[in-house]
Amino acid sequence: MKPFDVIVVGAGISGAVIAERMASQLDLSVLVIDQRGHIGGNCFDELDADGIRIHRYGPHLFHTDRENVWQYLSSFTRWQPYEHRVLSSIDGELVPIPFNLTSIERCFPEEKARLMIDALIARFGEEARVPILELRKEADPLLAELADFIYQKAFVNYTSKQWGVAPEAISPAVTARVPVVVSRDDRYFTDPWQALPAEGYTAMFRSMLDQPTIEVRLNTPMSEVLRFDWQHQHIYRCEAGAESLFKGKVIYTGMIDQLFAADQGALRYRSLRFSFERKGQSWWQPATTVNYPNEHEYTRITEFRHLMKPEPAAQATTVVYEFPKEFDPTTEDEPYYPVFTEEGQRRFKDYAERAQAMSQLHCLGRLAQYKYFDMDDAVANALETYHRLRIEYA
């Protein structure tokens, strides 16, 4: 059996970052396994038959306010500047989302829109970004009317499709991701760094994992390589029917409950069914993403052509529809969004404590730490974990 210092389970953001750091900075030999047939986790992208780069697990738009994350990733990719813009279909109009001053003017008669804008500016100041659940607390009748309109038309039905419950029933941080904006800035994100890897995410991850001391094995479930003996707190390497005690570190980036066959109950996630469609025309819609809060079963349509520079030559375009659903671990569903309930948090804590007892094992990333991470959060989190762990090799 080829010896490795570290085994990383999962070749997504967290796995790729920690593997890259451990190999390039500490010269450790690292085995990265992934049960899927590709690296990059949910960031995986590829060119379709028309030469359009699609994101197989839904649109991934990189943005960050963390200079260290930006610098770090910049050593593995060139960037194509890209600022995400989203429109929402409200009463037959396509209006900018996050809901901003332009959106108000599109949805209300001129005089009322002016009064609402004045009231918003007087109350919160220009440039403010106000979570919808905060705006809903305003007593002023005009602001209350505006809040109610935005809540009813942009949030209630979208959130009910996405999460299966009303906006109040999910963490306020989730709806606060898309605040009401007291300006005409129609960008979805305001971070100073917003861009896409010029050759795609997959190429960026390939470059990270392309190290002399990293070996990547795809289509490899964890059970083919590792066995955990929780009772004696031992980890075994398995290969070709043989087993031996593994003394190195295991970085696990999969679902934490699956380490324990979900014996305390499965952690809840929302999943998505993606429906890709090729349209026989150059452009399908006026923005990368159009949200449909109130019509249809899907929440949004994303057209990938908008993400490409130079524009692809094909007279065709590819779009993806997102149909939210509850994650069912017995199917092919992917777990995308953790659903935070008190019971879920208790279960997670229980699993996390049991995992911590195995001192060689480190749970890392969205699924293993049961967090709603943006891509840059996942990179920052993996870099921090690396800095913590490297001390053990000093």
| Contacting positions for ligand UDP (CB under 6 A) | 88, 97, 154-155, 158-159, 162-163, 174-175, 177-178, 291, 293
Structure tokens that stand for 327 in this block: 């994650």
Q: Which of 25, 13, 107, 27 is nearest to 364 (CA)?
A: 13
- Shortest reach from residue 178's CB to ligand UDP, in Å: 4
The string over 285-320, giving b where at least 16 C-beta atoms fall within 10 Å of a residue's C-beta and e elsewhere, is bebbbbbbbbeeebbbbbbbbbbeeeebebebbbbb
Q: Could you give the CA distance from residue 189 to residue 197 in angstroms, rounded to a whole number?
A: 17
Minimum distance from residue 177 beta carbon to ligand UDP (Å): 4
Instruction: Give the residue at shortest CB distance from ligand UDP.
Output: 158
Sign of CA dihedral 205, 217, 379, 319: positive
| For ligand UDP, the closer CB: 252 or 337 | 337
Distance, CA of 151 to CA of 37 (rounded, Å) = 41
Count CA atoms within 13 Å of residue 20 on its CB side: 22
Instruction: Tell me if 159 sits within 8 A of 167, measured CB to CB.
Output: yes
Nearer to ligand UDP, 100 or 291 (CB): 291
CB of 345 to ligand UDP, least distance (A): 19
Nearest approach, Cβ of residue 93 and ligand UDP (Å): 14
Nearer residue to ligand UDP within complex by CB, 239 or 297: 297
Q: Least distance from C-beta 7 to ligand UDP, angstroms?
A: 30
Nearer to ligand UDP, 158 or 246 (CB): 158
Peptide bond into 141 cis (omega under 30): no
CB 360 within 8 A of CB 259: no
First to last CA, the chain: 26
Nearer to ligand UDP, 120 or 178 (CB): 178
- For ligand UDP, give the closer residue by CB, 151 or 284: 151
DSSP 265-292: -PPPEEEEEEEEEEESSS-S-SSSEEE-
CB of 241 to ligand UDP, least distance (A): 43
CB of 325 to ligand UDP, least distance (A): 14
For ligand UDP, the closer of residues 29 and 291 by Cβ is 291
66 vs 390, beta carbon nearer ligand UDP:
66
Find the shortest distance in angstroms from Cβ 158 to ligand UDP: 3
Percent of the chain that is helix, strand, coil (3-state, to 5): 35, 25, 40
Alpha-carbon span 383 to 19, nearest angstrom: 10
In this structure, is the dihedral angle defined by the CA atoms of residues 149, 155, 160 and 166, taken in order, positive or negative? negative
Question: Between 177 and 388, whose beta carbon lies closer to ligand UDP?
Answer: 177
Shortest Å distance, C-beta 371 to ligand UDP: 12
Q: Tell me the CA distances in angstroms from 332 to 219, 223, 311, 382, one per residue in order.
A: 15, 18, 34, 27
